[in-house]
Structure 1
Amino acid sequence: MRICLVSEEFPVETPKGGIATYQYQISKDLIQLGHEVHVICKTLEKEDREEIFEGINLHYLSGKSELTLEEDFTYRNKVKSKMVELEERVDIFEVADWGAEGFYYLPIRNKPTVIKLHTPLYVWNSYNHLPMDERMERLEQDEIESLKLADSIYSCSNSLANIVKGTLPELENIEVIYNPLPQIKQNIKRNEQKMLLFVGSLEERKGVLQLASVLNDFLEKNLDFKVVFAGKDTDRNRFHTSTKKVVLSKVNVKFHSRVIFKGHCSKEDLEKLFLSSSVCIFPSLFENFPYVMLEAISMQCPVIGSINGGMAEIIEHGKSGWLCDPFSKEELLEVLQEAIDSNEKGKIAKNAFQRVIDLKLNKVAEATAEYYEKVIKHYEKKTLYHRH
Structure 2
Amino acid sequence: MKIALVSHEYPPFRGGGIGTYTTIMSHALARAGHEVHVVTNRFRFGSNDPLHEKAVHREGNLWVHRIDALADDWEPCPPHDHPRDLGWQLHRHWSPYLYYAEKVGEALETICAEHGIDVAEFPECAAEGFAVIRRKRHRLAFRDLPVTVTLHSPIFEIYKYNLYSRQNVGFQRRTAMEEYCVRHADMVSSPTRLLARTVYERLQLPPEEPPCEVIPLPMDFDSLPEPGELARQRDPRAAASLLFVGRLEPRKGVRYLVDAAVKVMRRRPELIVTLIGRDCEAGEVPGPMTAYLRRRIPDAFQGNFIFCGTLPREQLFARYAAATACVFPAPWDNFPLTCVEAMASGACVIGSDHSGMAEMIEHERSGLLFRACDVDALAAAIQRALEDPQLVARIRAAAPARIREVCDTQTAVTNRIAHYERTIERHRGRAAVTLPASPRGRARVALFIPRQTDANVIQRTLVSARASATAAGVELDAVVGDPAADQLKASSGAAVHGHTGDADHASALRHWNAALAENPPDYVLTLWPGESLEPMYLTVTTTVLAQTPRAAWATTWALPTTAEGVPFAGLDFSLPLDLLAYHPVPFAVMRYTAWRQAGGLNADLPPGWREWDLLLACADAGLEGIVLPCWLGRYVPRADLAPSPPAHAEALSALLGGLAERRRRLVERAGVDLWLYRVMNSISTTLPPATAPALNGQWRDWWKVTKQCLKRQFPAAARAYRRWIKRLPA
TM-score, structure 2 as length reference: 0.50
1:306/1:323 contact within 8 Å kept: yes
2:221 corresponds to 1:183: yes
Distance 1:51 1:229 in 2: 39
Q: Post-superposition shift, 1:384? A: 5.0
Partner of 1:30: 29
What are the within-5 Å matches in structure 2 for residues 313-324 of structure 1? Answer: 313-324=359-370
Partner of 1:3: 3
Distance 2:350 2:384 in 1: 10
2:150 corresponds to 1:116: yes
Partner of 1:374: 422
Partner of 2:588: none
Q: Which of the numbers 327, 348, 358 marks the counterpart of 2:395?
A: 348
Comparing 196-205 and 255-264, the one that deviates more: 255-264
Distance 1:358 1:45 in 2: 36
Partner of 1:221: 267
Distance 2:62 2:338 in 1: 22
Partner of 1:137: 172
Distance 2:297 2:72 in 1: 33
Partner of 1:42: 41
Q: Post-superposition shift, 1:240? A: 4.0
Amino acid of the structure 2 residue aligned with 1:22 = Y
Distance 1:338 1:25 in 2: 36
2:9/2:18 contact within 8 Å kept: yes
2:282/2:292 contact within 8 Å kept: no
1:380–1:295 CA distance, 2 compared to 1 (3 A): same
Distance 2:293 2:63 in 1: 42
2:372 corresponds to 1:326: yes
2:153 corresponds to 1:128: no
Q: Post-superposition shift, 1:201? A: 0.7
Distance 1:171 1:5 in 2: 26
Q: Post-superposition shift, 1:142? A: 0.7
Distance 2:386 2:23 in 1: 33
SS of corresponding position for 1:214: helix
Q: Post-superposition shift, 1:135? A: 1.5
SS of corresponding position for 2:198: helix
2:194 corresponds to 1:195: no
Gaps of 5+ in 1: none
1:296–1:182 CA distance, 2 compared to 1 (3 A): farther
Distance 1:373 1:176 in 2: 15
Partner of 1:51: 57
Distance 1:49 1:264 in 2: 31
1:210/1:327 contact within 8 Å kept: yes
What are the within-5 Å matches in structure 2 for residues 256-295 of structure 1? Answer: 256-295=302-341
What are the within-5 Å matches in structure 2 for residues 73-84 of structure 1? Answer: 73-84=98-109
Comparing 142-151 and 29-38, the one that deviates more: 29-38
Partner of 1:312: 358
2:12/2:44 contact within 8 Å kept: no
2:134 corresponds to 1:107: yes
SS of corresponding position for 1:74: helix
Distance 2:424 2:8 in 1: 24
Distance 1:228 1:15 in 2: 22
SS of corresponding position for 2:332: coil
Distance 1:269 1:383 in 2: 50
Cα RMSD between the aligned structures? 2.3
Q: Post-superposition shift, 1:361? A: 3.5
1:7–1:204 CA distance, 2 compared to 1 (3 A): same
Aligned length: 386
Q: Post-superposition shift, 1:308? A: 0.3
Distance 2:112 2:431 in 1: 15
SS of corresponding position for 1:288: coil
Q: Post-superposition shift, 1:357? A: 4.1
1:51–1:247 CA distance, 2 compared to 1 (3 A): farther
Distance 2:219 2:44 in 1: 31
Larger-Rg structure: 2
Distance 1:202 1:42 in 2: 27
Provide Cα deviations, 1:58-106, integer angstroms capped at 9, x if missing partner.
2223414454752433222111111112113221111101011111111
SS of corresponding position for 1:280: strand
Provide Cα deviations, 1:210-263, integer angstroms capped at 9, x if missing partner.
112123223343333321111111115222421111111111233333322222
Q: Post-superposition shift, 1:41? A: 2.2
1:213/1:329 contact within 8 Å kept: yes
Distance 1:321 1:8 in 2: 33
Distance 2:151 2:282 in 1: 21
1:53–1:336 CA distance, 2 compared to 1 (3 A): farther
2:243/2:273 contact within 8 Å kept: yes
Amino acid of the structure 1 residue aligned with 2:420 = Y
Identity score, percent: 26
1:306–1:53 CA distance, 2 compared to 1 (3 A): farther
Gaps of 5+ in 2: 46-52, 76-90, 136-141, 436-730
Partner of 1:19: 18
Partner of 2:408: 361
Task: Flag the structure with more relative contact order, 1 or 2, with Cα contacts below 8 A and sequence separation at least 6.
Answer: 1
1:360–1:234 CA distance, 2 compared to 1 (3 A): closer
Q: Post-superposition shift, 1:48? A: 7.2
Distance 2:340 2:62 in 1: 23
Partner of 2:622: none
SS of corresponding position for 2:331: coil
TM-score, structure 1 as length reference: 0.92
